[in-house]
Amino acid sequence: MLKRTIILSSILASSLFANSIELNLANETIKRVAPSSIQEVLSFNSSIKNSTKSIVNISTKKRVQNKQNPMNQMFKDPFFRQFFGNQFGKNFKQDRVQKSLGSGVILSKDGYIVTNSHVVENADEVIVTFGENSKEYNAKIIGTDKDSDLAVIKIDEKNLNPIKIGKSKSLLVGDVVFAIGNPFGVGQTVTQGIISALNKNKVGINKYENFIQTDASINPGNSGGALIDSRGTLIGINSAIMTRSGGNNGVGFAIPVSMVKNIVKKLVESGKVTRGYLGVSIDDVSKELKSVYNHNEGALILNIAKDTPAFKYNLKRGDLVYKVNDQKIKDASEFSRIIGSFKPNEKITLHVERNKKDIKVQIVLGSRDSLNIVSTSSPVLQGLYLSEITNEKANMFRIQQGTKGVLITDVKAESVAEKVGFQAGDIIIQIENIEINNLDNVQVALTKYNKQQKRVYLNRYGRILVSVIK
């Protein structure tokens, strides 16, 4: 079976500041119609014409180190640097400017625009243009949320044309929809299709998935553009496609407008999204397990992490959460989304089936701010990319078998970590008084010593060094 590739147009960024926003809400009264005569031509031009004025083109620039240069790879080899020194080879590094294209949707007259977070990821410069107009606007990144793949940017312009905002609850499979964006950088384009499915999750694109699936053609560059209904009302933000060839195969995904409104307001108000945290591993109720529980739907708790709200309030392995407050839970994905929609320190009531009995558990949620700090794809400690020491990594960096710690695979160019002196190939063995054997240990250390200077102990080719970084 061929692997399906998720196509994303690139680039995300850091959050700044904002105050408030008033959304242009659409009329909630909806009437669906069909042609009544063979003399009629079905056209949506008058319905969507105004919405096209709310779609912008986004181009980004990012200066990146050319890691493909074979000389760069050679000079990173710890064995090579042992003989020629750590500074040798830096003159061979060549930076390049990476450019990317995407789309965005105007939300307010005073210049707030929503797009995908991956469109503006790590961008040094974000440029906005309108349709065929060549005038360029420098955009400020207000906030990004990688977990939902949404971001808000702002341009200094007044009297813009904000799109009308719809409601996710009104959507039905089979509704006619239009995708508006800038595919392949060819300029503004409108494609038509229907809603193929709703509430799609487990696609593997975002952490919190509740996608609208559509066969309206979505291609690279469409990311961040609008999915609208036949009234011209925004119902989703185009995010990704599934493809075998790199082109559109009629399976596209858009983030529903209900999530867009929630995330946008948080980003505009505070520049970031804070989510409630429970501390459990969960799964769906399988066919085999349905005979064991009275409730056939919900989120089954498989594990509970120590020192978390779930641990503190005595949730148990095997508990089936079938309702949060008054909202029924269909599956594990929905449970994750709902918990993530609450704020830290917010009190909620879980309706739980335990040993065939229904109980209520009141819980005060924790914060996700200190979670997911450590991953192989995101830098920590102001510029370090980390990995556990696998056999492959040990061979690549010539690490002796049995060496303990966490490997620094790369150091972000011009970062604080690079200036301090961290190097690819270094092994972190301790942070303050916490011994480091895996990424979880790093996460614990960074959480405990979050906002203070930290002593980081390194194993560099057998020598033990210590560096200090915040």
Digit-coded pLDDT (tens) for 109-163: 999 999 998 888 878 889 898 877 778 889 999 998 888 889 999 999 888 999 9
pLDDT digits (tens, 9 = 90+) for 352-386: 999 889 999 999 998 766 554 555 556 788 888 88
Q: With bands split at pLDDT 50, 70 and 90, how would you rate the model's confidence at 94?
A: low
Q: With bands split at pLDDT 50, 70 and 90, how would you rate the model's confidence at 7?
A: very low
Catalytic residues: 118, 149, 223
User: Which of 74-78, 84-88, 97-101: highest mean pLDDT?
Assistant: 97-101
Q: With bands split at pLDDT 50, 70 and 90, how would you rate the model's confidence at 208?
A: confident
- Provide CATH 2.40.10.120 ranges for the chain: 1-26+44-271
Q: With bands split at pLDDT 50, 70 and 90, how would you rate the model's confidence at 16?
A: very low
Q: With bands split at pLDDT 50, 70 and 90, how would you rate the model's confidence at 106?
A: very high
Q: pLDDT over 70 for what percent of the chain?
A: 83
Average pLDDT over the chain reads: 80
- Provide mean pLDDT across the span 186-215: 81
Instruction: Output the pLDDT for position 6.
Output: 44
SS (H, E, C) the chain: CCCCEEECCCCCCCCCCCCCCCCCECCCCCCCCCCCCCCCCCCCHHHHHHHHCCEEEEEEEEEEECCCCHHHHHHHCHHHHHHHCCCCCHHHCCEEEEEEEEEEEECCCCCEEEECHHHCCCCCEEEEEECCCCCCEECEEEEEECCCCEEEEECCCCCCCCCCECCHHHCCCCCEEEEEECHHHCCCEEEEEEEEEEEECCCCCCCCCCEEEECCCCCCCCCCCEEEECCCCEEEEEEEEEECCCCCCCCEEEEEHHHHHHHHHHHHHHCCCCCEECCEEEECCCCCHHHCCCCCCCEEEEEECCCCHHHHCCCCCCCEEEEECCEECCCHHHHHHHHHHCCCCCEEEEEEEECCEEEEEEEECEECCCCCCCCCCCCECCCEEEEECCHHHHHHCCCCCCCCCEEEEEECCCCHHHHHCCCCCCEEEEECCEECCCHHHHHHHHHHCCCCCEEEEEEECCEEEEEEEC
Q: pLDDT over 90 for what percent of the chain?
A: 19
- Provide mean pLDDT across the span 6-31: 64
- Provide mean pLDDT across the span 91-104: 66
CATH architecture of 276-367: Roll (2.30)
CATH code matching the domain that covers 384-469, chosen among 3.40.50.10860, 2.30.42.10, 3.40.50.800, 1.10.10.10 = 2.30.42.10
- Provide CATH 2.30.42.10 ranges for the chain: 276-367, 384-469
Written out in words, the top-level CATH class of the domain with range 1-26+44-271 is: mainly beta
